[in-house]
Amino acid sequence: MEREVQQLIEMGATRAQARAALKQHKDVMEAAERIFDGSYDNVADEDDDVNMAPARDVPKAPRMVTPDEDEDEDGDKDMDGDDDDYDEDDVEDFADYDSDYEAKAEAGRGPSNADPYAGIFFSKDRREEVIEVEEEPESVFVPDADEKAKLMTQGQWMKGCPEGGEQSFLFSLYQELTDGTCRCPNGCKTSISRQKRDFFPIFAEFQTYIKHLKTIVPRLCAQCHKRFCFACGEPINEGQSSDDDTLFHCPNLQGVILGVGLAMLEQSFIEETPGVIPQPTGKRRKAEAVPVPVAFDDDDDDEDVYPPVNQTKKLKLGVGYAGDAREDNSGHAEALRIQRAKDEKLAQLLTDIRVYLPSIHREGGGKPSDYLVHPTALAHLRRRFNFVGSQLLRNDSLADMSDRSVLYFELLNWLETISCHEALASMMAMPIMVVTSAKALANKRAGTGKGYVRERTITYEGSSGPRELLEAIVIQAQAALKGLEPAKPDSEPEDTEMTEEQKRQTQDDKGKGRDDGRIVIEENQKLLGFCKSIISTAKAIDRSLRETKGDAFVERLHASLPKIPGASSTDTELIVNAGQTEEEAQKAYLDWANRVRFEYCDLSIVSPSGKDEAPHYKFVYNNEARMLANADIPKRSLAIAKELAVLTTNLPVAWNSSVFLRVDESRVDVIKALITGPEGTPYYNGCYLFDIFLGASYNQAPPSVKYITTNGGKFRFNPNLYADGKVCLSLLGTWQGPGWVAGRSTLLQVLISIQSMILCDEPYLNEPAWANGSGSPQSKAYSANVRRMVVKTAMLGNLKNPPEPFADVIRTHFRIKADTLVKQLDDWLEQDDGKLTVPENHGQSRSPPTDDPNGNGLRADVDELKTLLTKIANGQDVDGGLYGEGSSSR
């Protein structure tokens, strides 16, 4: 019985009312109906809780308001916005009806000096459990639409709402529009029965639903011949309401149109987006889950409702090639055409529904429902629009978004419209509640002759809100704009003579450069316009939030947003506290790595001659970079812009292995990368540096990549990493196998391939002639040799003389991991075979154990490294000085 009691409490009943109703009515829904029709108004809780009002005057749970809102004598908000009687002292009585914290707003003297939402909207540390019901929908024929439609059940109407206050509003509106009668408001006592088919049919097209409502909503009283609204029972003023205004008459219409419309949008999005419903993945979720609708089925297990968990399966063989296979690109154009058709369909549905969003800035002036916002409007947006919007905003490819701009432009319009309305704007900062688990309960009979209903206990947890998700796209757009800066499509090309090398590098494949030029420039302009739209939308949203919620609200919102890459390099020193336990250290490491994984910096150096000439770079490809100093290659600029957009937010960072990138602030084609070795490999926790240049033919040709961590060109760490810096990888065209695909392959793929396929657990197998030697003595000796080189160069060497621009990253990496590294080094000492280090490490790993009393040098290197780790763990630099004295404290 306690479960049923809790369900009724979630709907808005008191505990005493729930228990009393369930004693007489065993069915939960029947008990709820009796509670909300006022049958148990006189029942009080043992602790003298205030009695519940009748259903037709459902009490409003504490809800989100701003300090300048007023309330009338009945406790309802003055929807006219008149604040002449505003009492500043009443601010502390306001609260957010969506918040599980039930926190009172801070007292203040206006939005400029206090944030009434502090502690309410910005924390993701929320967890709610609710019981959700699934019923079999009924199908009926709707005569005026000449179409058969399924009727939305109460379970479908309320599904996905974990907020108690919102549930009561949803329940009340559904009951009002599906049961009982609507009386003529003119006193003639005429009444018309409402049925579920009136307001809750789900048609194939949204516009069919709108035409149906326009037919049934305006009613002419058969007795007094006056018009009234079938949704709210209030008069329709003749002469002041056109056919187009019919559905803007009252909040009830707004609530039901948004509810049904967004349910249709959610279903359409699921149907048009394969894989959006997750498959069984395990018992727990990642910290940042993706919102998904709960899929009910006949099984009792709860596997089908978990969000997808992206787990990278470590490859046994870390090879940089894969035979002579070739990627099948057939059907790509057809897939794009199908995707475009799906996007246009979804965009049109979004456009049609957006008409009924509350908007006081509506063309032609606001309508009644724009000012009289139904309490369910926010609930509909948070549970259904947030699902679709968050799926789209989590797209990690700006290029894909630009290609699907018809859909994304409409999404941006929605976000801007929501942010402009005081009643909805706070949603931009609220965490999105996502399903993390579900447990099936026993089926119950809905009522005599009504069959059974299925119930599940759904657990929701907070995740990133809409504005936070948008910020990740803003960061990508800003990076893309930086990549597009060299492109000058409107300028006249300089009539200067090019060198033969420049001609060779800038010529397009198969002589099509002249024909492709105009197309590329148009694509540049398209991406440029899309990026500017994203940034301007974010600014417009923030501007609207300042107007509706106050400066403090926006400032707190911005403090929770992801930071623009490169911002940390200009901030005050970032102190990273490694904590006392490994769990605390891992969290600190992840937070820090996410902050600094991608940054712009100055990689140039003063010209050796001192003359005013093209800058030089701390870079193995310095000559190639200087040669293209003034080059204007639109196709290349477009490719780099897309690349930067992806890299800013998608570089993999984890305790076990991370990728860090530094891009020259004025030459985005000049890049340096640092990859930390993956766990379970002989490269673990070492720091491996690469110089990367995006040449004149990029992305038609792969980037140029050089390995730097070679102990001055002496050590070969892997069959795919030569002592001279060559990187053997089929993507780079330096080994056989699937190669670079022009326009589709990316630098991110190259980096991840190096991280997972070259820096692997058994590098001996990367040599084709030794590919069958897994677990052999030769393979084990090879790995032992690699570990010795890693300690000497990738750990000790990098810590003693950290290369720029990764000095801060390397020091912080080793400082946070100091305790873990000490244990790792002890394990490596035990595993060492006592043999001498073989620098080239190519077919010579069978060297005999050394007779030297000093051994092979591994213990000496480990001891020195441990000493340095102790220093930096205690806040000292490797030279004995304290952090902050000329060195970073990261």
Cα(539)–Cα(529) distance, rounded to whole angstroms? 15
pLDDT at residue 28 in the model: 67
Among 384-388, 552-556, 844-848, the range with the most confident prediction by mean pLDDT is 384-388
Cα(691)–Cα(708) distance, rounded to whole angstroms? 7
Contacts of 41 (CB under 8 A, 6+ apart): 51, 52, 53, 54
pLDDT at residue 511 in the model: 41
Q: Is the pLDDT of residue 456 over 60?
A: yes
The pLDDT of 544-549, averaged and rounded, is 88
Least confident range from 168-177, 296-305, 840-849: namely 296-305
Q: Is the pLDDT of residue 865 over 50?
A: yes
Contacts of 732 (CB under 8 A, 6+ apart): 702, 703, 705, 740, 750
pLDDT at residue 498 in the model: 45
Least confident range from 191-195, 292-296, 586-590: namely 292-296
**Cross-strand pairs, 735:** none
pLDDT class for 294, splitting at 50, 70, 90? very low
Cα(524)–Cα(223) distance, rounded to whole angstroms? 66
* Active site members: 728
pLDDT at residue 590 in the model: 93
Q: Is the pLDDT of residue 79 over 70?
A: no
pLDDT at residue 33 in the model: 65
pLDDT at residue 492 in the model: 40
Q: Is the pLDDT of residue 494 over 70?
A: no
Least confident range from 297-306, 334-343, 482-491, 866-875: namely 297-306
The pLDDT of 586-600, averaged and rounded, is 92
pLDDT at residue 362 in the model: 87
* Structure tokens belonging to residue 722: 């030569």
Q: Is the pLDDT of residue 657 over 90?
A: yes
- State the DSSP string of 214-266: HHHSEEE-TTT--EEETTT--B--TTS--GGGGGGS-HHHHHHHHHHHHHHHH
pLDDT at residue 568 in the model: 43
Higher pLDDT, 838 or 300: 838
Higher pLDDT, 814 or 78: 814
The CB density around residue 490, as the number of other CB atoms within 10 Å, is 7
pLDDT at residue 854 in the model: 56
Question: Which segments within 760-876 are labelled E, that is strand?
Answer: none
Mean of the per-residue pLDDT values for the chain? 77
The pLDDT of 313-320, averaged and rounded, is 42
Least confident range from 158-172, 726-740, 868-882: namely 868-882
Among 147-161, 478-492, 560-574, the range with the most confident prediction by mean pLDDT is 147-161
pLDDT at residue 603 in the model: 92
pLDDT class for 449, splitting at 50, 70, 90? low
Contacts of 572 (CB under 8 A, 6+ apart): none
The pLDDT of 682-706, averaged and rounded, is 95
**Hey, is 112 helix, strand or coil?**
coil
pLDDT at residue 63 in the model: 31
Contacts of 190 (CB under 8 A, 6+ apart): 183, 184, 221, 222, 223, 224
pLDDT at residue 517 in the model: 53
Residue 243, judged by CB atoms within 10 A of its CB (0-12, 13-18, 19+), counts as exposed
What ranges do the domains of the chain cover?
127-306+344-473, 563-873
Cis peptide before 805 (omega within 30 of 0): yes
Q: Is the pLDDT of residue 448 over 50?
A: yes
Cβ–Cβ under 8 Å, residues 447 and 26: no
Least confident range from 174-178, 241-245, 526-530: namely 241-245
Cα(174)–Cα(180) distance, rounded to whole angstroms? 11
Residue 763: name the closest of 793, 783, 741 by CA. 783
The pLDDT of 507-517, averaged and rounded, is 44
pLDDT at residue 68 in the model: 37
Cα(857)–Cα(850) distance, rounded to whole angstroms? 10
pLDDT at residue 197 in the model: 92
Q: Is the pLDDT of residue 53 over 90?
A: no
Cα(68)–Cα(379) distance, rounded to whole angstroms? 23
pLDDT at residue 824 in the model: 95
Please report which helix (H) or strand (E) contains residue 30, including its range: helix 28-36
**Cross-strand pairs, 718:** 721
pLDDT class for 16, splitting at 50, 70, 90? confident
**Hey, is 414 helix, strand or coil?**
helix
pLDDT class for 137, splitting at 50, 70, 90? confident
pLDDT class for 538, splitting at 50, 70, 90? very high
pLDDT class for 888, splitting at 50, 70, 90? very low
* 563-873 to CATH, choices 3.30.465.10, 3.40.250.10, 3.40.50.800, 3.10.110.10: 3.10.110.10
Least confident range from 212-226, 299-313, 564-578, 711-725: namely 299-313
pLDDT at residue 447 in the model: 56
Residue 288: name the closest of 491, 562, 486, 582 by CA. 562
* Structure tokens belonging to residue 63: 């809800």
pLDDT class for 868, splitting at 50, 70, 90? very high
Residue with tokens 């009613």: 219
Bridge-based pairing state of the strands 598-601 and 659-664 = parallel
pLDDT at residue 878 in the model: 67
Q: Is the pLDDT of residue 513 over 80?
A: no
How far CA 121 is from CA of 124, 425, 430, 826, in Å, comes to 8, 12, 5, 47
pLDDT at residue 114 in the model: 53
Cβ–Cβ under 8 Å, residues 285 and 306: yes
The pLDDT of 443-467, averaged and rounded, is 77
Tens digits of per-residue pLDDT, 750-767? 999 999 999 999 999 988
pLDDT class for 770, splitting at 50, 70, 90? confident
Q: What share of the chain has pLDDT > 70, as a percent?
A: 71
**HEC readout, 154-186:** HHHHHCCCCCHHHHHHHHHHHHHHHCCEEECCC
Contacts of 98 (CB under 8 A, 6+ apart): 63, 64, 163, 165, 166, 378, 382, 430
Residue with tokens 């000329």: 886
Tens digits of per-residue pLDDT, 695-721? 999 989 999 999 999 999 999 999 999
Q: What is the CA radius of gyration of the chain?
A: 32
Cis peptide before 854 (omega within 30 of 0): no
